Structure 1
Amino acid sequence: MDFIDEMRALSSRVAAAKDMVQTEEATKNAMVMPFIHLLGYNVFDPLEVTPELIADVGTKKGEKVDYAILKDGKPIILFECKKSGGDLHINHASQLFRYFHTTEARFGVLTNGIVYRFFTDLEQPNKMDEKPFFEFNLLDFRDQDVEELKKFAKAAFDLESILDTANHLKYTRSIKSTLNNWLTDPPEDFVRLVSAEFLAGKQFRAAIKDQFIQITKHAFQQLIADKINERLKGAMTPESALLPASPIAPVNADDSQGEHQPSAIEIEAYQIIRAILRPLIRPEMIAIRSAASYCAILYTDNNRKPICRLRFNNESRLIIGVFNANKEEERIHITSVDDIFDLSDKLKLCALAYIASPADDTKELSEAASDTASE
């Protein structure tokens, strides 16, 4: 199994267990130790992964690091753990700051078992930065995030290589945050800059400023939306052959009045859903089937594993039915397919429920194949 597949499997287990894990100790055992193990370190070998490593700080004796990963007998990565879902504000990292200063480790990780924040000393040598250079969310990650995380794996760990990219990651993260803020609240200086050629010779009075702030905000957001649509269309076009070439029987008998082929707006919605679920599921694992009154989006092309239904027969009244872990459908009105991004959490919870219970996949896929053959 590839590293990213192992990460997806761990993600599904953590998603299923996180609400039951109530203490810091339980978080370490159920979430953090499996994460460290997945990176290739033997959590049962104290010469490689030492729990509660003592790191005395001045007059403070007996200070302990939750976990220290060792290489050649020296700590290289320190882990400070909080309970599942706990606050990871930098104010809660005081122990990690102290440990970092007194050991030879160059990387500190603050985690609650779900989010892992990676720190180093880019600003001042041997003093941990206040901002992480990399953050990994076990329940919401991209392929690119996994590639960065792999650099910390035992088989790939190279101190200089990671430090070379840490600076880039840190400032990229900061700039992305700034640009994200500008999407909703562009600063006046930025508005002046982008509108300079239209306002040549005009005073930047309050009325003009307010007008161009709104125009700039809209243009900025539209640019991002256009780029996303371009990427989606470009990524999905070569896979059009995966779509059903002929009508497929409806998922439920009560919708068997006649089938239709996916419309352009349904294909666009399908592409968005695949993009949303890509951190959890390979795109080819998500299929679309036509029924009389909707298009079904299915996990592993199995009509017993519906993710959602696109009820777009009336394009002026779009409805998407999203399924929960109990396969109950919640019908939600949307104004455009872009609103599907707002349903990301619901779609991911449904997908995670199927990933977390793979034992019956073979049986169900066999039954689905039999059903299709009989039809």
Structure 2
Amino acid sequence: MELQLQLKALADKINQLKDKIETEESTKHAFVLPFINLLGYDTFNPTEVVPEYTADLGLKKGEKVDYAIVENGEPILIIECKNWKENLSVHGSQLFRYFHVSKTRFALLTNGIVYQFFTDLDEKNKMDQKPFLEFDITNLKDNSINEIAKFHKSNFDVNNIVTNASSLKYIQEIRKQIENELDTPSVEFIKFFANKVYAGRLTEKVMEEFRELVSKGFNQFINEKINDRLKSALTKETQKQQADQIDPIEEGTKVLTTEEEMEGYRVVVAILRRKLQVSRIVYRDTQSYFGILLDDNNRKPLCRLHFNGGKKYLGLFNDNKTEKRQAIETVDDIYRFETELLETVKFYEVD
């Protein structure tokens, strides 16, 4: 939990400072060194963290990698840093050369925001082309935090990390493929499902129709699965919230949270969890509307559900926090406003 809080604090700092950081050197000091510190290593102790670590490359002597984390005089992790604005995909070859001449099993390529961890799963002493662990520190998932914890000084175990790295690497690649197929389904992906449900000939026109159908079908399936899990997880919380409501005898001030409002809340969570941790999406029910807030903060409304009257409305907010109501027929219609809801998050997350 402490590491999670430290990572969140560093992410907040990065979001606040990055527009003021212009150089690679500034990126190192403002973003990368604090990350090394929270892994438990003293960046001011040259027996633990060596800046400008020498990695001689054959006849080319004096080549240096930005940092090396050292244990018993040997590097256990070499780190190459780039400016936070740079794309890391064009810088892997340099670290590849450093890895080959060092005794480490792990290498890190980072711009202070995106972190890519490499090892030598494919060929011993030769850095893999693809990282086994990659994450954006400003948008961390729980599984990534668990993997980062394994690099903490108190937990570091080479064999344990290498053993787990193989699974991580392939799971990460599979997830990317799934994400790509959901965003832009390939011909093979479309054909696989179209052949299951369509008896006619798969003409170009039919394939184009199924491209959208497959994408929509998968996204709806995923959202419904998320809703089911949220419904189960939130049942106890709902019961507690309802138990805390004002006595029903006091009709004038009674607030009753309906199952339909909770269903709407779960739909909103299913959409926003792509950008936010679920714990940050909080609801407050009132007599006039069902409000959904960021961090339980009234100054950060995400949307409102107006389900108490004859018609249903979804209240959306612009960057001036002005609400605009959109008429909906069913709770599922909230999915039509996915883009607007995700845009609302940006109004607060840029702070």
- TM-score computed with the length of structure 1 as normaliser: 0.77
SS at match of 2:302: strand
1:225 pairs with 2:220? no
Question: How far off is 1:240 after superposition?
Answer: 1.7
Change (3 A) 1:185 1:10: closer
| CA–CA distance in structure 1, aligned partners of residues 62 and 173 of structure 2 | 36
Question: How far off is 1:46 after superposition?
Answer: 0.7
User: Is this contact kept in 2: 1:286–1:301, CA < 8 A?
Assistant: yes
Question: How far off is 1:268 after superposition?
Answer: 3.8
> What are the equivalent positions in structure 2 for 1:54-69 lying under 5 Å apart?
54-69=54-69
Shifted more, 133-142 versus 5-14: the winner is 5-14
Change (3 A) 1:195 1:332: same
> What are the equivalent positions in structure 2 for 1:30-41 lying under 5 Å apart?
30-41=30-41
Greater RCO, 1 or 2 (C-alpha within 8 Å, sep 6+): 1
Change (3 A) 1:345 1:206: closer
In the other structure, the counterpart of 1:19 is 19
Give per-residue Cα distances to partners, 1:110-136, cap 9 Å, x unaligned. 111111111112222222222111112
How many percent identity over aligned positions? 37
Question: How far off is 1:38 after superposition?
Answer: 0.7
SS at match of 1:233: helix
In the other structure, the counterpart of 1:294 is 289
Give per-residue Cα distances to partners, 1:208-259, cap 9 Å, x unaligned. 54454444333323222222222222222232245363269xxxxxxxx977
Amino acid at match of 1:228: I
- TM-score computed with the length of structure 2 as normaliser: 0.82
SS at match of 1:217: helix
Question: How far off is 1:193 after superposition?
Answer: 3.6
Change (3 A) 1:241 1:199: closer
Question: How far off is 1:352 after superposition?
Answer: 7.9
Query: Structure 2: 5+ residue runs without aligned partners?
Result: none
Query: Structure 1: 5+ residue runs without aligned partners?
Result: 249-256, 354-375
User: Is this contact kept in 2: 1:309–1:320, CA < 8 A?
Assistant: yes
| CA–CA distance in structure 1, aligned partners of residues 264 and 9 of structure 2 | 26
| CA–CA distance in structure 2, aligned partners of residues 102 and 63 of structure 1 | 11
User: Is this contact kept in 2: 1:39–1:154, CA < 8 A?
Assistant: yes
Amino acid at match of 2:120: D
> What are the equivalent positions in structure 2 for 1:45-194 lying under 5 Å apart?
45-89=45-89, 91-194=90-193
In the other structure, the counterpart of 2:42 is 42
Q: CA RMSD in A?
A: 3.3
SS at match of 2:53: strand
Amino acid at match of 2:317: G
| CA–CA distance in structure 2, aligned partners of residues 205 and 308 of structure 1 | 43
| CA–CA distance in structure 1, aligned partners of residues 75 and 325 of structure 2 | 53
User: How many pairs were matched up?
Assistant: 337
**Which residue of 312, 336, 360 corresponds with 2:306?**
312
Change (3 A) 1:43 1:235: same
In the other structure, the counterpart of 1:364 is none
Question: How far off is 1:172 after superposition?
Answer: 1.1
Amino acid at match of 1:95: Q
User: Is this contact kept in 1: 2:317–2:344, CA < 8 A?
Assistant: no
User: Is this contact kept in 2: 1:88–1:110, CA < 8 A?
Assistant: yes
User: Is this contact kept in 1: 2:47–2:73, CA < 8 A?
Assistant: yes
| CA–CA distance in structure 2, aligned partners of residues 300 and 235 of structure 1 | 18
